[in-house]
Amino acid sequence: MNETMRGRLRSIPVFANVPDAGFSEKDLPDNPVPVIGDWILAAHAAGQPEPHAMSLCTVGPSGVPSSRVLLVKDIDDDHLYFATPADSRKGREIAANPHVSAHFYWPAAGRQVRVVGKAAGLERAASQADFAERGRGSRLAAHLHRPGPLGDRADVLAEFARLDSLHPEEVPCPPSWTLYAITPTEVEFWAASADRVHHRVQYRRDTATGGSAWHRRLLWP
């Protein structure tokens, strides 16, 4: 057996159990955004853990990108919603540059989706409503967000215990907790095919010039 890292990585099977994704470009509707929700639910049905987790890429002041995973809280005809502190790295980067890219990959379904668009924080009432739906542990943990480094893990555990005692019933919504909406201008659906002739469908719309109609085209794999 080749014990080098390269050998080990190259021996890992790829798309070994890709299901017949039932992907038909002709079945896709004019608006791609709700389809993202359909694909999340299909991935859930295929056994994908956290199928509503997406990686979100933001851009820092000098043009350097950074990514992290977030949960999608809702999807409607024109937006994907996520929640995070406005004073987090991603929140600060979005405040300075709203351009973001989100990405889903569902190995159990053999599918991925790319989203490109702009993110904007919503009004306080919407953020509070999102916060109220979180579990108690998540509401307390939202108060643990602090700028700068953590000296010792014991410090954050002690702070969690202090917050738990301080708020035995209602946990207040931190001022920075923010529900964000991404308005996509590009959505690309990708589905694996066992014969490696994968499917790609790209939707684009030019909101900058006031256009809201989506234009669709197939892409080569």
The sign of the CA dihedral 137, 121, 34, 76 is positive
Q: Based on CB atoms, which residue is closest to ligand FMN, 142 or 201?
A: 142
Find the shortest distance in angstroms from Cβ 39 to ligand FMN. 17
CB 163 within 8 A of CB 172: no
Find the shortest distance in angstroms from Cβ 26 to ligand FMN. 33
Q: Which stretch binds ligand FMN (CB under 6 A): 17-25, 34-42, 86-94, 121-129?
A: 86-94
Q: Based on CB atoms, which residue is closest to ligand FMN, 63 or 210?
A: 63
Q: Which stretch binds ligand FMN (CB under 6 A): 83-91, 98-106, 108-116, 167-175?
A: 83-91
Spatial distance between the Cα atoms of 46 and 110, rounded to a whole number of angstroms = 10
Q: Based on CB atoms, which residue is closest to ligand FMN, 71 or 144?
A: 71
Burial string for 50-82 (b: 16+ CB within 10 Å, else e) reads ebbebebbbbeeeeeeeeeebebbebeebbbbb
What are the angstrom distances between the C-alpha of 97 and each of 6, 68, 126?
A: 38, 17, 22
Is 89 a binder of ligand FMN (CB under 6 A)?
A: yes
Residues at the site binding ligand FMN, with contacts judged by CB under 6 A:
50, 53, 66, 68-71, 82-84, 88-90
